[in-house]
Structure 1
Amino acid sequence: MLSSPLAARANDPAAADALFQAAKKLMGEKQFSEACPKFDASYKLDPTLGTLLNLADCYEKLGRTATAWSTWGEAMEKAQRDGDKRAEFARSRRDSLFPKLPKVVINVQNEVPGVDILWDQVKLAPAVFGVELPADPAEHDLLVLRDDGAKLKEERVRITQEGARTEITLDIEALDKANPRKVKPIEAPPPPPPSASKQRLAGFVIGGFGAAALITAGALEAVALAKRADAGASSACVNKFCTPDGLASIDSARTFAEAGQWIGLGGIVAAAVGVTLLLTAPPAAPSPRPATGAVVPRPMWLSPWAGPNGGGLVVGGAL
């Protein structure tokens, strides 16, 4: 992949010098807010002591007292490592800022596991609680964050005066109790599907009722036909004229026929439901092979029966 010859890269003295000269020009025009980022970018490309000293001076003129104090200290340490005489200059500039430093003290009481304190989006270590921390005169973000994402406290802390001391006290346990964790409801497991044996039993029973109803309907139709035949064979009805006994026989035949039709219709529906249950029942788990000499139960069986006085259905076997 080709890169542009103007693209900045680490250890690029030429690009670093261009940024440095642009920053110096902005400093002369007192445009400190634009000059500081250029000094910082120049130092990252070519970390020279001169650039770092100018960056610290820029932060100080911009009013970022704590950042300038820290940068002067970094420049002092770099000069000491390099054996540069400017180490004393950096030390004197750093020490002159110390009385002007605004300081923040964050006191933490009743700590709770899983709760963090962030200052300007940076997590604070417990070791800094109760310690004076240098802070730039500006607005700062304080956040108390729990491990479930709940923001127990969120506050903008404004620091304006040089040398001011701001103290913040946080009772973590009280904040945690004021924002109880949301308990996720436990969902009940879905009911288990009906077992194959129960569904088959229901199919046999309902189908048996249907078959019995069909047999009963057939028997009623047979009785109705017999009564009509009796009325026509005797002298009760001649040329569509019937005696009271003949009319009673015909009415009785009609009643038996209608009852047979309704019972037969119900039998068809019940038989269809029973067959559907039997066909859709899940396959039964294979039974263990019986031991030698063990009594094996007979499977379910269904047998209709009919007689001169009625009919029915016999269901037998074992599940």
Structure 2
Amino acid sequence: MRFVWPAPVLSGLLSIALIAPASAQPDAVAVAESLFNRGLADMLAGRYPAGCPALAESYRLDPRAGRLFTLAECEARWGRIATAVARYNDFLALYSRMSEAEKLQQHERYKVALEQRNALAPLVPQLTLSLPSGAPAGTVVQRDGITLERPSLGIALPVNPGEHVVTTRAPGGPVHEVRFTIDKSASRTIELEVKLPVEEPPRARPMDRPPSQVVGPPVKPIEGPAPSTETSGPSGRRVVTYVAGGLAVSGLVLGSVTGWMALNESSRAAEACEDDGPGAATCSPEGKAAGDRAKDLGKVSTIGFSAGAVLAGAAVLLFLTEPSPPGPRAAAAARSQASAAPRPRAGAVSWSLLAGPNGGGVAVHSRW
């Protein structure tokens, strides 16, 4: 069952729609008036790219007949005749719903709009865009940034003369762009192209190959670590120097101690002996024993001092003549030469994975 509004009710609703924005939104009306004055000035000065959008915004905020007519005039002067024809048609439709008093006020504009619409309509280009039959569902088509749904494809639609950009994009695919120019009164059909998503080829598994092709990577022979050129402790020469120095100190200490003991025993022997003249002395057994000990200790002291002196000299000589250790650069160069030197290889080992109708296995190959 369809509900039909009575004519008086429809007329009342249209009247309210025409006057409601101006009475309900005074701030919007003020903004619309300012935009209209600026857009009209730009239009009269030939600055249509700035003037027409200002007039369109003015009409959106305060949809009056005069603003709509001026907007249609601006679009016509700008050369956007398809848009201008649509605006003139909107004005004529609005005029048809006006009261007699309002029609009398807008009569001159009505005549101009009717003449302009009739003159420009045959000059509007017609463009038909169609997708290929294999285009996937969900393909997005845009003309000059405006999305066209499926009902808008495959039929002739009015467009403004000049350059246009049409893009297509399948779900997950890249954007395909087409640029073209269409003249007045022209009719053109464009079969769009859709770029499908690029699918990567599946990687073959090892068991999908013939047995002769299923060869694993060669096994690298196990080799010992490269000899290090750096020393982790003192060299053998330094160890000998340390040992000689230690023995020299021991010999000097031994000579000092035994020398002091020899002097002590010699003093005892002198006290226990009586001088009987030049070269003759009478000693008691204790004095004679002390004298013998003094002689023996003197010999040991002499040997200790002599050995300590010789070893000390040898230690000093070894220390002074020891070569300095290599610096960081020399050590790095030595490591580089050691790593670059060819090493003997015991053999190259590789494995193969075999698969056949009667079973499979792993074959190991080596070359010596």
| TM superposition score normalised by structure 2 | 0.42
| TM superposition score normalised by structure 1 | 0.47
